[in-house]
Amino acid sequence: MSSLNMLTISEAQNLLRKKEISVIDILEAVFWRIDSVEEKVKAFITINKENSLTVAKDAQKKIDSIGSNDNISLLGIPIAVKDNICTKGILTTCASKILYNFIPPYESTVTMRLKNKGYILVGKTNLDEFAMGSSTENSGFQTTLNPWDLERVPGGSSGGSAAAVAADECIAALGSDTGGSIRQPASFCGVVGLKPTYGRVSRFGLVAYASSLDQIGPITKNVRDSAILLKIISGHDPYDSTSAPINVPDFTECLEKDIKGLKIGIPKEYFIEGMDKEIENTIFQAIKLLESLGAIPVEISLPHTEYAVATYYILATSEASSNLARYDGVKYGLRAVGKDLMDMYLTTRAQGFGAEVKRRIMLGTYALSSGYYEAYYRKAQQVRTLIKKDFEDAFNKVDIIVTPTSPTPPFKAGEKTQDPLQMYLTDIYTISMNLAGVPAISIPCGFTSNNLPVGIQFIGKHFDEESILKIAYAYEQSTDWHRRKPAL
């Protein structure tokens, strides 16, 4: 019974369709697991137990009424959602004290699409406050820990979602990715994380951090599940002017295709001094395996990579400074008592925001301020264009780009909290894809000598998620890294 929480989406669909298990069986297994390990992992901010049992009964009735060959989609599948994605009637805090009591009156587009397919919301997962961080240590409520080693971080900002999937506290999860926040925690927790092309998935109902970079995507136990979830959450949305009116393929259909002759670009800028040797060796072993499957490695250059972190931290913080101006204690969330209106604003924001959020708001406000706008913000936008062009040039020569997901294995909790710059550099291999808007997926490709997961990243052309899913699936089928489980 308890092992049902270890199922993937496709395995659960199969057993439910054949009526070999019930929705209640899976849900009880998931909640049994949460009761067993959540105290150690701390992946969730809100656990949605009562409501999910009601939804489960309805899902079971629908499954009972359909044939054993019918597509049951997500009927009865327990999925966790990052707590910066709005869920109607269910607390959505962004892991910030300023939104400690915010219950959205509307549903995000992605969760509405999951709802229409019958999913069960297990709970809302922990994150770095407003998705600002790489370790989930910036949460206003708790620090999530890595199921592989409880002294280490799960990555961030979607650390709660990645840890919940790795610990089998849900069947799959949704995260959001502004500079690596799906892929880096997926790498740290030994699961699969996919950041879609900017515009592939609606951002309506995702609480904004940096609107030109944010993208919602799946965190799953294997590549097939990522393809299943991506198909459901993708597509144009009239509520989001940045969502692209582009056809959504069935991403599962590309998985079995051959990768023979596929040109994979190895960017020389990603294999440099300072990178962990074990990670470097693991990635090169993975590239060798891809070669044996028929892929052709080609050395390429992404010359503006060295400017990516600086560019990102000007643009993302500038957008954050603008987006977070709405939290003033007037309409929703925390309201502090002040002598007058201005004092109320100041006290609310001083009490409600954590140190990292304040740091980024100040950086962004400075970059946008009169006299500095041209020197910082405009210059960063120009460099962003150069970074995007690097990818366009590279994709004229290769089909896919392969890199490590992170330059280091998961680090210990508290190790980098005193040095924001060191923390920012942990996203050095993921930030460029957000600046360029291209899709990327991280999948498990090995373990360090300390039994810590290592992730490999596949990057594709705009709206070519099929290619990265195809190569990720081919690699995954030739290895068993994704089947390993932490001994919690």
Average pLDDT over residues 247-263: 96
Identify the pLDDT of residue 370. 84
Q: What six digits make up the tokens of 261?
A: 């002759």
Residues with a catalytic annotation lie at 82, 157, 181
Identify the pLDDT of residue 349. 95
Please give the model's pTM, rounded to 2 decimal places.
Answer: 0.97
Residue 422: pLDDT band with limits 50, 70, 90 = confident
Q: Which residues contact 244 (CB under 8 A, 6 or more apart)?
A: 197, 199, 200, 236, 463
Identify the pLDDT of residue 154. 98
* Per-residue pLDDT reduced to its tens digit, 443-465: 999 999 999 999 999 999 999 99
Identify the pLDDT of residue 274. 77
Do the beta carbons of residue 335 and residue 352 sit within 8 Å?
no
What length does the chain have?
Answer: 488
Residue 174: pLDDT band with limits 50, 70, 90 = very high
Identify the pLDDT of residue 421. 83
Q: Average model confidence (pLDDT) for the chain?
A: 96
Do the beta carbons of residue 170 and residue 164 sit within 8 Å?
yes
Residue 190 predicted with pLDDT over 60: yes
Do the beta carbons of residue 32 and residue 5 sit within 8 Å?
yes
Residue 4 predicted with pLDDT over 50: yes
* Per-residue pLDDT reduced to its tens digit, 107-148: 999 999 999 999 999 999 999 999 999 999 999 999 999 999
Asked if omega into 318 is within 30° of 0 (cis), the reply is no
* Per-residue pLDDT reduced to its tens digit, 323-338: 999 999 998 899 999 9
Average pLDDT over residues 428-444: 97
Nearest CA to 183 out of 146, 212, 225, 154 is that of 154
Domains, the chain, ordered by start: 2-262+399-483 (3.90.1300.10)
Average pLDDT over residues 253-281: 93
Residue 344 predicted with pLDDT over 90: yes
Identify the pLDDT of residue 445. 98
In this structure, what are the phi and psi dihedrals at residue 388, rounded to the nearest 5 degrees? -60, -40
Euclidean distance between CA atoms 25 and 171, whole angstroms:
13
* Per-residue pLDDT reduced to its tens digit, 41-83: 999 999 999 899 999 999 999 999 987 777 889 999 999 999 9
Identify the pLDDT of residue 297. 98
Euclidean distance between CA atoms 9 and 168, whole angstroms:
12
Residue 1 predicted with pLDDT over 70: no
Residue 87 predicted with pLDDT over 70: yes
Residue 425: pLDDT band with limits 50, 70, 90 = confident
